[in-house]
Structure formats: C-alpha cells, structure tokens
Amino acid sequence: MAGVNTEATTKETEALHHVGKKTQETQQQNLNKVASVADVTLPKELKVADSNAGAPGVQSSPLEDGDDAPVNVLSEVGAEASVAAKKKKKKSKVKLKKKNPLQQTDPPSIPVDEFFPSGDFPEGEIQEYKDDNLWRTTSEEKREQERLQKPIYNSVRQAAEVHRQVRKHTRSIVKPGMLMIELCETLENMVRKLIKENGLQAGIAFPTGCSLNWVAAHWTPNSGDKTVLRYDDVMKLDFGTHIDGHIVDSAFTVAFNPMFDPLLQATRDASNIESRKLE
C-alpha cells in the first residue's frame, strides 16, 4: 500500500514539474516578444535568472535586509519603450520647427526672391479686357505674344513685391520731425537689400521724390539738405524699383493733420475710377 502511494506521489511531482517548466518557457517567450517589440534586448542576467527559476537543485533565497526588490521585467521594458517613443516624438517636433516658413524681418532686410524659391512671384490684381479690347483674349497671335512676355511679367512682379514691402514699412515709420534726406535714404537702402541691387540688372528706378505741399512732384533732397517733415505738411512720396530695366512706380500721399483727410479720400476715389476706365 505504501509502495502504491510513493509511485503516485512521484508521478504527481513529475507532472507538476512538467507544467512548471512549460509555464516558464511560455513566460520567457512572452518576455522576448515584448523586448523585440520595444526594440529592447533583455539583459543576459535576467534571462539566466528566469531560466533557472524552479529548476531542480536551484532554490531562490528569501530577501534579506539591504537586498533589492524583485525586478518586474515587463514594467521595465514598457517604461523603456515609453521613453524611446517620447524621444522620437520630441525629435519630430524639432524637425517640424525647422521647416517653419521664412518670415520677413522688421524692418524688412531679407531679399524678396528668397520667399519665392520657385522663381514665380505673386500676380497681384489682374484687370481683364472688356468691350472693344475683348478680341485680344481670343486672338491666337495676341495670346502667343502674351506667352512670350511671361518672363518679363515675372521680373515686373518681383519688382512690384519689393515695392509693396518697402511701401508698407515706410508708411509705418514716417512721422513729423523726420529729415527728408533721412527718410529717402532709409527707403532706398531698403529697396537695395530686398531687390539685391546689381548695377543695371536690379535696383532703384529713380531718385525718390518726396514733394511737399505746393510742390506737385519730382522734388528730392540733395546731400546735406535740412528740410524737416512737419505735422501740417502734405507729402507726395514717389519711388520706383526695377528688374532688368522694367520699372514699377507707385506713389502715395502722407498727411498727419485730419483736416486733409477729405482731400486724400477724393484723390483715392478719383484714381480708382480712372483705373477702372482703362480696363
């Protein structure tokens, strides 16, 4: 009877040992899969320690004072994967910041062509032909001539974009008390930078006109001129830019005293009406 009990006990022990071994193998496989997914290789010591657990003749000793707590491998792997993911995300953000579009400085100093690496500059407002000039849009000869002019149009558009940026900034800085010569030099130096002045290929189209009050147009201060812009002055500021000799010219009026507002509005309305007649 005792022999039967011993044999049963031995088989039960072997079965438990077999189940324990299978469980350990499954756990090891899961650990390796997790490590592979997280791109983290498990330390060799952890694998050895795990494979020895529960083996015959190997016993785990109880923790003593000063011993480290058992390591949770799954937690470590998950933490490392999380840190790696955060670092990758941070690098992506840095790369995105580097790709931010170029922005003009204040005052403008970056050449306009750097904002349009393709070489195509903004068209601006297009005035369509009408009435007796509509035939120009259907004539094959005129359409071909138009296509041949595109490189010239693009040069004009570059000069126009320079003019627009300089004009916008100049409006924001002009004020009573400025020397007229200082205003003109500031404006012209800005044109030189934005258009990349290059002899007869690109630059200022003509001396800046800053005619005051009863002077209608084309007055510009000479070197050493001490004329000062005053609060009650009406100034007509006229300057031009050019690319390959193709000139863009535009002027605007500056007045600080509100008494001149109706006069300025009337001239704007008249200009808009006349430009529409040219369509």
The whole-number average pLDDT for the span 197-207 is: 95
Q: Which helix (H) or strand (E) holds 247?
A: strand 246-255
Structure tokens at 200: 């007869």
Report pLDDT digits (tens) over 205-219. Answer: 999 999 999 999 999
What is the domain count for the chain? 1
Q: Is the per-residue pLDDT at 101 higher than 70?
A: yes
Higher pLDDT, 243 or 31: 243
The pLDDT assigned to 276 comes to 75
Q: Residue 80 falls within a domain, yes or no?
A: no
Q: Residue 49 falls within a domain, yes or no?
A: no
Q: Which spans in the chain are helix H?
A: 2-37, 44-52, 73-98, 135-138, 140-148, 150-173, 180-195, 261-277
**CA angle 101–243–274, rounded 5-degree value:** 95
- The CATH number of the domain where 203 resides is what? 3.90.230.10
- CA distances 41 to 27, 45, 58, Å, are 16, 12, 25
Q: Residue 99 falls within a domain, yes or no?
A: no
Segment of 35-49, 78-92, 145-159, 185-199 carrying the highest mean pLDDT: 185-199
**Is residue 161 packed enough to be buried (19+ CB in 10 Å), middle (13-18) or exposed (0-12)?**
buried
pTM of the model: 0.62
Domain that holds residue 263: 112-277
Report pLDDT digits (tens) over 72-82. Answer: 545 555 666 67
The pLDDT assigned to 1 comes to 45
Q: What is the CA radius of gyration of the chain?
A: 41
Q: What is the DSSP letter of 207?
A: P
Q: Biggest alpha carbon distance in the chain?
A: 134
Q: Residue 249 falls within a domain, yes or no?
A: yes
Find out whether 210 and 183 touch, Cβ atoms under 8 Å: yes
- Per-residue pLDDT band at 130 (split at 50, 70, 90): confident
Q: Residue 74 falls within a domain, yes or no?
A: no
Q: Residue 169 falls within a domain, yes or no?
A: yes
Strand-strand pairing, 234-243 and 246-255: antiparallel
In this prediction, what percent of the chain has a pLDDT beyond 90?
49
CA distance 85 to 113: 40
Structure tokens at 13: 């022990």
Structure tokens at 25: 């193998």
Q: Residue 155 falls within a domain, yes or no?
A: yes
Q: Residue 103 falls within a domain, yes or no?
A: no
